[in-house]
Amino acid sequence: MTAFIGLLKKDLSLIRFWYMVWLAFMILGIIAVYGISKGVSEPSILVPYLVTMGSFHVFLAPIALLYMLNIEGKTQLWLYNPQNSTKLLLSKICSATVIQLIAQVIISLFAVIVMKILQDNGLIEHFSDFLPFKQGFYMQLGIFGVSMYMSIWVIFLWTVYHSLGKYPSIRNFRWLAVVLVWLAYNLFEALLAKTKVIQNQLFYFSVNVDIAPQMNYETKEGWKILYADASVPVTAIVLYVILSVIFFLLASWLLDRKVEV
């Protein structure tokens, strides 16, 4: 456990500087948009910035992971690390999870500030008129889930790319192999999803949640977020979790074979 915590601290130190830069730009953007809203006397301008910033954060953890992996690739530190590949990759996922959660907490706090500003300006009467807690939680959970799933794919495709470096004949075309792997998986998934068996079984158990937001602008009331029912297939989510574990184990297996970078 102590060794894993050491790995986690090392990984966090790799991205600490650029993560602070990320947060600084995010906070400066908040200040800038708030200044514009005050200047034009239009507090609802904060709403589209909030939604855009929240959506953009699905890429935070994958980008951080790719940065950490590239640093490790240049230094080749894991080739001499006594820890197994599963722990090495898991520490990076945990590091990306930590920074992802911190960023989403900041976004949530900004959402509360935006709702307070809208309330003070008479655009909403209660916070729930703009973003009920349940919808806000589901949206943040969705952002986090998508970000983690993308992170697993980053790890898997990165290890595929560098494992092919052992073969001189295709070394210069590794990127094409990675693209083909990605396209082949998505094509297979799309074809599988069209089959009646999958449609009847995989999407049979689902829940309806009003978390499908749409932006709407009204002249007198400004920006509003409207919600519509969305069918969430629980079985499909479980399947994606299982696939994530499989891709992670495959990436660990490839790394155990001493990926050359």
CB atoms within 10 A of CB 176: 11
The residue-averaged pLDDT of 172-185 equals 86
* DSSP calls for 83-151: S-HHHHHHHHHHHHHHHHHHHHHHHHHHHHHHHHHHHHTTS-SSGGGT--HHHHHHHHHHHHHHHHHHH
Work out the mean pLDDT of the chain and round it to a whole number. Answer: 78
The residue-averaged pLDDT of 8-17 equals 78
Residue 129, classified by CB atoms within 10 Å of its CB into exposed (0-12), middle (13-18) or buried (19+), is middle
- Write the DSSP symbol of residue 220: T
pLDDT digits (tens, 9 = 90+) for 186-203: 888 777 767 765 556 555
- Write the DSSP symbol of residue 81: -
Q: What is the pTM of this model?
A: 0.82
CB atoms within 10 A of CB 177: 16
Query: Are 152 and 247 spatial neighbours (Cβ–Cβ below 8 Å)?
Result: yes
pLDDT (0 to 100) of residue 9: 76
pLDDT digits (tens, 9 = 90+) for 138-177: 788 888 999 999 999 999 999 888 888 777 777 777 888 8
Q: Which residues lie below 8 Å from residue 150, measured CB to CB, with a gap of 6+? A: 58, 59, 61, 62
Rounded Cα gap, residues 58 and 97, in angstroms: 11
Q: Give me the helices (H) in the chain, please.
A: 2-39, 46-56, 60-75, 85-120, 133-163, 174-193, 196-201, 234-256
Residue 67 C-alpha from the chain's centroid? 15
Per-residue pLDDT band for 100 (boundaries 50, 70, 90) equals very high
- Residue 213, phi then psi, degrees to nearest 5: -80, 145
Query: Is the per-residue pLDDT at 101 higher than 90?
Result: yes
Q: Where are the domains of the chain?
A: 2-256
Query: Are 27 and 35 spatial neighbours (Cβ–Cβ below 8 Å)?
Result: no
- Residue 92, phi then psi, degrees to nearest 5: -70, -40
Per-residue pLDDT band for 122 (boundaries 50, 70, 90) equals confident
